[in-house]
Structure 1
Amino acid sequence: MNKEFLENYVELALKIGINLQKNQCLVIMSPVETADFTRKLVEKAYEIGASEVIVHWSDDFCKKMDFIYKDKLLFENIPDWQLESLMSYANKGAAFLSIAANDPELLKGIDSEKIAISQKTRNIKFKPYYDKVMGNEIQWNILSVPTKSWAKKIFENCSEEKAVQKLWDAIIYSVKADTPDPIETWKKHLDTLKEKMDYLNNKQFEKLIITNSLGTNLTVQMPKNHIWASGKDVTKNNIEFVANIPTEEVFSLPHKYGVNGIVYASKPLNYGGTLIEDFSITFKDGKIIDFKAAHGKEALESLINTDEGSKYLGEIALVPFDSPISNSNILFYNTLFDENASCHLAIGQAYPSCIQDGDKMDSETMEKNGVNDSLTHVDFMFGTDDLNILGIAKNMKKENIFIKGNWAF
């Protein structure tokens, strides 16, 4: 790995991603397989001025052994200390950085009931922490680092070493760490996303009509006073951060009860170690009333049945087909990358920051304003090279937002 590019990536994570402040605590969630990169993050964070750096390690092998051998009833409980640890750091203003680099097929062949129980238990247990994340109460960032199993899934015809190298190259390119001045490159990139965001916010379209040749024909009503957001977020303490590296999206929330029609996924979804492939979802008055999947249907059903809110959408995100990650022609089997190569929707929780005064709304007010609440938030991709999106204004005037997969303005 090119040492300069690697150092650039570490700096981007800490300075652009979470925007680590002097004397701030940093919590890193990392697979053990990415320990070398995580150690570089720890070292650089202290150099920048972190007061403390805590690493929560995870291990795919141990996780798989748990699912193979543990009784399913044991997945119904998670020790309190796991949530208490996250909340204690969050409550004192820590920043959180997560490395998403799991084996896409880690749980292939595992008892689907165990997976469903585990996922629902985690969603319930960690909701107080997820609420802080979704409400932008803390700085947070997700990025990825190659692992052997992940790399081999993408580049199956390469040797393990070559596959890892190719994935490193793809990631470094996607996150712009190979540019002469990555920090400045990212600032310009965020400004470009902001231009699209500002345009959509000024328009305040009432509805979006989405179509493509896969069969997607979806009408999405937007709530009154909705807000489009882009790569840069701001915490309640007015600290800017970028939640995803890479990021190519401009996103908002659909009205909970205003989605009608059918959408076809354009890429597989890696959900909890299971790949869901070739699937479609049908909506009526916002609610999922039907779904199909060639592979992973049980996992999709489990996701949809997480709770009442997981039968509705919480996010719509627009990503041009002609973007760096999409143009790489790599299917990453990793939502962080695949969602930034494609327009996507999210099942479940909406971001309160995507509606005016959302941070001040209680659950009843959110419901009245069409803001979905759920234990989960899972993105799936629907963007294609022939995707068209039409915006319908209050006066019923129509305007093209996307033509053939790309921005029309």
Structure 2
Amino acid sequence: MTLNADFEAKLARYAELLVRTGVNLPEGGKVRVTAPLEAAPLVRLVSRAAYRAGALDVRVDYTDAHLSLTRYEDGGDAAVDFLPEWAAQEGENLVADGYAFISVVGEDPSLLSGVDQGRVARRSKAVAASMRNVQRAIGGMEVSWTVGAMSTPAWARAVYPDLPEEQAVSRLWDDIFTVSRADEPDPVAAWNAHLDRLERLCTFLNGRRYAAIHLRSELGTDLTVGLAEGHIWQGGAETAKNGVRGVPNIPTDEVFTAPHRERVDGVAVASKPLSVRGQLAEGIRMRFEGGRVVEVTAEKGEDTLRQLVETDEGAARLGEIALVPASAPVARTGTLFLNTLFDENAASHIALGRCYPTNVQDGENPEALIAAGGNDSLIHVDWMIGTPGTDVDGVREDGTREPLMRGGEWVVGEKK
């Protein structure tokens, strides 16, 4: 795409946002950036912003999803299964050394759609097992982390298939800047006001101590999600164990907590397609009994979903319930981003697999986490079930119900 001064200014503000608000990099901090090759212009600006903030080191790992494609298409079974020990050790060393983590997404959401999904599932499970300690440390907020995005040609073509490539890339950038508040005159100030609103919602929900959340939608969702004992609602900014307060996802409009792994019952119907393991799953419907998925159907990608929930025992149970208003900025764009970072902030959603330890009191203790009903798994996959017609109730221990959302919008706490 053709760059201009206005775009370059917004891109610089976006990079500054990832550093100053996302990981809130302190003087003397260190940061590890993971990004697709096409994100080099953004990564360079992130590096500049980090060093201006006083960083000691900016370490960048570029990724190329097409190399994964070549492994699946041209590599043997041994290549699919091979993982060097140093890869996980490197991640663990970065965590131990206090590095913040910035991830930039922008991959083709259906790049692996033509690949043997059994091979993809096998490698995905192996990678997750290898990186388990790193993911637990990051999910447990031992260090600050954030996720941003880069408008790449492959992603933009998937999102806007009817537009010429250059227009599609430009349109996607406009949406990224809008929902990330990078087009505001002072993005950091805009984020501070937004984070205050999310904090007020979390305070309200934590004060109610609901036993369960019940969601119903016009698509057929009728799901009761029991909540873990001592659950904690979170959203917006989070304080890492090193004392740094950042924003893990940019954008973010969710408030979320941990379900009880054995107390989920009913039907969940997806309101948006899900990009998972390199392909799109559409028309998803899952039925839960006693916390476990007992039935999986989909119009597209059903085999991939079945393999997903069979990853391990916890993969067929929930690790997150998140509430998002239908009027959130991502939803207002009218764009289906085909990327979880964005689409999960357009609709209330649930996640299969691992819960966040920070969503349960004393959750950093694995035994306490499990005793409270928290779930453990190699995976954590969000998928969207909220709609503009979704009603959400909080259910008290005695069975009384209180409306939280009507028509997809908050009717309690902070409504804006």
Q: TM-score, normalised by structure 1?
A: 0.98
Instruction: Give yes or no for the alignment of 1:94 onto 2:95.
Output: no
1:140-177 deviation digits (Å, cap 9, x = unpaired): 11111101010011111111111000000010001001
SS of structure 2 residue aligned to 1:329: coil
Match of 2:391 among 365, 388, 392: 388
Give the deviation of 1:394 after TM superposition: 2.6
> How far 1:39 moved relative to its partner?
1.2
Q: Which amino acid counterpart does residue 358 of structure 2 have in structure 1?
A: S
Matched, 1:317 2:322: yes
Give the alignment of 1:195-234 within 5 angstroms. 195-234=200-239
For residue 175 of structure 1, the aligned residue among 171, 177, 180 is 180
DSSP-derived class of the 1:19 partner: coil
Q: Matched residue of 2:295: which SS?
A: strand
The CA distance in 2 between the partners of 1:120 and 1:224, in whole Å, is 29
- Is residue 375 of structure 1 aligned with residue 378 of structure 2? yes
Q: Distance in 1 between matches of 2:9 and 2:105?
A: 22
Structure 2, unaligned stretches of length 5 or more?
none
Equivalence for 2:51: 46
The residue identity in structure 2 corresponding to 1:399 is E
- Structure 2 match to 1:399: 402
**1:9-408 aligned within 5 A:** 9-359=14-364, 361-362=365-366, 364-408=367-411
Letter in 2 for 1:209: H
Percent identity of equivalent pairs: 35
Deviation readout 1:54-74 (Å, 9 max, x if unpaired)? 111111222212211011332
Q: Is residue 102–residue 273 contact of structure 1 (8 Å, CA) maintained in 2?
A: no
Amino acid at match of 2:14: Y
Q: Deviations over 1:75-100 (max 9, x none)?
A: 22210111121111110101000011
Q: 1:314 to 1:400 in 2, by over 3 A?
A: same
Residues in 1 aligned to 2:37 and 2:56: alpha-carbon distance in whole angstroms: 23
Kindly report the root-mean-square deviation, in angstroms, between the aligned alpha carbons of the 2 structures: 1.0
Separation in structure 2 between the aligned mates of residue 297 and residue 369 of structure 1, nearest angstrom: 32
Displacement after TM superposition at 1:224 (Å): 2.3
Tell me the distance in 1 between the aligned counterparts of 2:405 and 2:278: 32
Task: Write the letter of the residue equivalent to 1:150.
Answer: W
Superimposed CA distance per residue, residues 252-272 of structure 1 (whole angstroms, 9 cap, x where no aligned partner): 011110000110011111112
Q: Distance in 2 between matches of 1:302 and 1:140?
A: 29
Superposed CA offset, 1:184-204 (max 9, x none): 000000000111111100001
Q: Report deviation, 1:131.
A: 0.5
Q: Distance in 1 between matches of 2:65 and 2:224?
A: 39
CA distance in 2, matches of 1:405, 1:222: 20
Deviations 1:370-405, CA, capped at 9 Å, x for gaps: 010111111000010100011111343321011011
Q: Is the 8 A contact 1:75 1:121 kept in 2?
A: no
Q: Is the 8 A contact 1:78 1:122 kept in 2?
A: yes
Q: Which amino acid aligns with 2:303?
A: E
Using the alignment, how far apart are the partners of 1:334 and 1:230 within structure 2? 19
Q: Which amino acid aligns with 2:249?
A: N
Letter of the 2:46 counterpart: L
Contact 2:29–2:55 under 8 Å retained in 1: yes
User: Contact 2:293–2:317 (CA<8 Å) still a contact in 1?
Assistant: yes
SS in 2 for 1:294: coil
1:279-313 CA distances to partner (integer Å, 9 max, x unpaired)? Answer: 11111010111110111112111211111110100
Q: 1:395 to 1:113 in 2, by over 3 A?
A: closer
Residue 125 of structure 1: CA displacement? 0.5
Q: Which amino acid in the other structure matches residue 382 of structure 1? A: I
2-side partners of 1:67 and 1:36: how far apart? 29
